[in-house]
């Protein structure tokens, strides 16, 4: 009974932490070839970086960032792999809304990703909208 209560409390706490953070990780369950949404977040004018945790079928060969609502300047991404190493990519690319980044290749081909940290600057817009960013990953099953 104690284990059930502790497990329930951990589940509730995990849900509250996810609600409190801006990121929304998506559990990727498919290993089919093609593009899969990894996660999404609504970026804040006061922050300059965000982190997306990758869950489930986490092997990808390339990434793209799709932007809605407001433009952003995607400055840098850092991909952390399950193997423990990481890859920094200087992007420095403005993305209009709606729009998307260029394709960003994963070093070493398709690899398991633990998390993605990205640095951005929300660009001014008339309505002071916050940008909604989705991260998509390409599965090649190579």
The Cα–Cα gap between 117 and 138 comes to 18
CATH number at residue 49: 2.60.120
Residue 8 lies in a domain: no
Residue 50 lies in a domain: yes
The count of structural domains within the chain is: 1
The predicted pLDDT at position 16 comes to 38
Residue 40 lies in a domain: yes
Residue 48 lies in a domain: yes
Residue 3 lies in a domain: no
The Cα–Cα gap between 109 and 61 comes to 5
Q: The pTM is what?
A: 0.77
Which pair of structure tokens corresponds to residue 51? Answer: 């982190």
The Cα–Cα gap between 25 and 128 comes to 25
Q: Quick check: 1 pLDDT over 60? A: no
pLDDT tens readout for residues 83-139: 999 999 999 999 999 999 999 999 999 999 999 999 998 877 777 788 999 999 999
| β 34-42/132-139 pair status | antiparallel
Residue 7 lies in a domain: no
Parent domain of 54: 24-139
The residue among 66 and 16 whose pLDDT is bigger is 66
Residue 52 lies in a domain: yes
The predicted pLDDT at position 77 comes to 97
Residue 18 lies in a domain: no
pLDDT tens readout for residues 29-54: 888 999 999 999 998 777 789 999 99
| CB of 43 closer than 8 Å to CB of 104 | no
């Amino acid at each position: 009974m104690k284990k059930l209560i502790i497990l329930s409390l951990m589940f509730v706490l995990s849900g509250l932490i996810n609600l409190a953070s801006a990121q929304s990780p998506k559990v990727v369950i498919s290993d089919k070839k093609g593009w899969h949404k990894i996660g999404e977040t609504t970026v804040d004018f006061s922050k300059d970086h965000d982190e997306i945790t990758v869950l489930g079928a986490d092997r990808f060969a390339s990434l793209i960032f799709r932007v809605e609502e407001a433009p952003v300047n995607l400055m840098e991404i850092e991909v952390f792999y399950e193997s423990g190493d990481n890859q920094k990519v200087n992007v420095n690319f403005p993305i209009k809304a709606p729009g998307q980044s260029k394709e960003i290749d994963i070093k070493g081909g398709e690899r398991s990703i633990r998390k993605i940290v990205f640095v951005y600057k929300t660009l001014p817009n008339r309505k002071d909208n916050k940008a909604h960013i989705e991260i998509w990953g390409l599965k090649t099953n190579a």
